[in-house]
Every structure is written in structure tokens, then in C-alpha cells.
Structure 1
Amino acid sequence: MKIKMLPNWCKKLGLAVFIIGIITSGIKGWNSVEDCSPYQSNSVIKSESSQVKKQDLELITPNNENLDLDGVIVIIGMFIYMFSKEKIEDDYINILRLESFQLTSLIGLVSIIIIYLISGNISFDIDSLTNLFLIFYLIIFAIKKRIY
């Protein structure tokens, strides 16, 4: 089966987009750290009468109207890098891609099941899971490519 891939020069483009996303996310995160006190938590703070104040929720919860574009840029950069051809593209590279995807999926599912069994109240963001999946895939693919 022949897979349509981006040209090899898109690896450099994907890496540049990824680095730009990481830098802008880091700058945004650095600026938000300066605004937070060390004692502020992400849990819901209840008032003395055990009712949640609207002011507390506005301070604690993130603004859902703003899309985290930095995270999206990072993911797009990794996808561009991932779907770009290698310099020497053959059937063996496609097999390595398939094996890397299978191993990454297996590791991801097993780790999520183990984490859920240890603590059932842990919640994950979809962008965190996507980033971890893509990073694990790229690492496993690079290792398999170097070994074989």
C-alpha cells in the first residue's frame, strides 16, 4: 500500500513550526507564572457557606473562549514532521512506521489503564495525550530507524 506523504523538505518546516509553538507557549507560560501566587490551586474554592462564588470560578478556571493556539501549533508542527518523507523512502521505512505506531499505541493504552487503576480521578487534556503520543511515536521511530 502506497501512502501519500509530504516531501522531505517539510521535515524542516515541521521542526520550525514545532519550535515556534514551543517558544510562544513557553513565553505565554512564563508570563502566566508571574501572575499566579504560589498558594493558588486549581481546585474549586468554596466559600464559608459551602457555595461556590462566581468570582472564585472566574479566577480558577481557564477562559474557555480562548483556544490554546500554542498547543495547536506544536501539534501541527509534529504532524508535519511525522508525515514527511525520509531522504531514502522505501517499503522498510513504511514497516518501521507501522511498528512504531503499534508500539506507541500499546504503550499509551497500557499506561493510561495503569494510571486509571492507580488513581481513577485523574483527568487528562486531549492536547496532553496527543503531544505525548506524537512524541513517543517520533522517539520510537527514530530509535527503530537507527537500530535497523
Structure 2
Amino acid sequence: MKIKMLPNWYKKLGFLLFITCSFISGYSHFMEGLTGQTFNSGNYDDWIGKELSHVFDILSILGLIIYMFSKEKIEDDYINKLRLESFQLTSFIGLAITIIAYAISEEIRLTLDYFIILFLWIYLVTFAFKKRIY
């Protein structure tokens, strides 16, 4: 079965989009975690609002998705099989983490984008790991 995918050069575009947007949207969260206080920099808050930070979160997720849907340099049926196995394993791991997180904590305050980013990262790691092993 022929799967339509983006050309290989989209990997670079997706990775660049992910890194850039993650850095921009995650800066204030990083500073809050580093200092333990709410980050209140007048310049940063004026330049990047909450809505624009959310847009950068969405663009970083889009960058990972573009990276995932790009072809490898050498594309064959075996790579497609590895993609399928990685997606299946990632689905099981993601569901297990979600169920365990909700079972442990009654009052979980994670938004959907945390779970999406976790799912995409687990997929990329398992695909890279399977590709290196086989």
C-alpha cells in the first residue's frame, strides 16, 4: 500500500518550527519553574500574550507532526512497518500513562497539549529506537 507522505526536506522545516515555537512559548514556564514564582517580566508579557503563547504551542505541535509525516531518506516497506509498530506501541503507552495519571490524581491540571506533545515525543523516540535496532 502506498502511503502519501511529505518530502524528506520537510523534516528540517518541522524540526525548526518545533524548536523555535517551543522556545518562545516555553520561556515563561521555564522561568516560573526555575524561580518558583510567577514570571512577571514587563517586556516579555507585553510582547507575548497568553493567546500568542498558545498559538506558539499549537505551532510547535504542528512542527512535530510535520516531522513525523515526512519521508525518510530511504523509504521502503520496512520503514512503513516500523512506523506502524511504533504508532501501536505509542498508543498503548499513551493510554497507560493517561489512565495511571487520572487514577492517581483526582485533580489533574494538565491540558491536552501536554498529552499530545508526550504522545508525539514517545512516537519519535520509539521509531528512532526501532530504526536503530533493526
* Superposed CA offset, 1:36-74 (max 9, x none): 9xxxxxxxxxxxxxxxxxxxxxxxxxx6xx260111111
119-128 vs 131-140, which deviates more?
Answer: 119-128
Instruction: Tell me, in whole angstroms, the C-alpha distance in 2 between the residues paired with 1:117 and 1:29.
Output: 26
Describe the shift of the 1:34–1:124 C-alpha distance in structure 2 as closer, same or farther (beyond 3 A). closer
Residue 126 (structure 1) aligned to one of 104, 109, 112: 112
Alignment of 1:94-133 (within 5 A): 94-133=80-119
Partner of 1:35, secondary structure, is coil
Normalised to the residue count of structure 1, the TM-score between the two structures is 0.74
Q: What residue is the counterpart of 2:35 in the other structure?
A: none
| Cα distance, 1:29 vs structure 2 | 3.8
Instruction: Tell me, in whole angstroms, the C-alpha distance in 2 between the residues paired with 1:30 and 1:134.
Output: 21
Residue 136 (structure 1) aligned to one of 89, 101, 122: 122
26-35 vs 135-144, which deviates more?
Answer: 26-35
Q: What residue is the counterpart of 1:9 in the other structure?
A: 9
- The alignment's C-alpha RMSD in Å is 2.1
Which consecutive unaligned segments of at least 5 residues does structure 1 have?
37-62
Q: What residue is the counterpart of 1:35 in the other structure?
A: 40
Normalised to the residue count of structure 2, the TM-score between the two structures is 0.81
Aligned length: 121
Instruction: Tell me, in whole angstroms, the C-alpha distance in 2 between the residues paired with 1:31 and 1:112.
Output: 27
Which consecutive unaligned segments of at least 5 residues does structure 2 have?
33-37, 42-49
| Cα distance, 1:80 vs structure 2 | 0.6
Give the ranges of 4+ consecutive aligned residues of structure 1 lying more than 4 Å apart after TM superposition: 30-33
Partner of 2:106, secondary structure, is coil
| Cα distance, 1:34 vs structure 2 | 3.0
| Cα distance, 1:22 vs structure 2 | 1.6
Describe the shift of the 1:23–1:123 C-alpha distance in structure 2 as closer, same or farther (beyond 3 A). closer
Alignment of 1:72-83 (within 5 A): 72-83=58-69
Paired residues of 2:28 and 2:39 also in contact (CA < 8 A): no
Matched residues, percent identical? 56
**Counterpart code for 1:22:** S
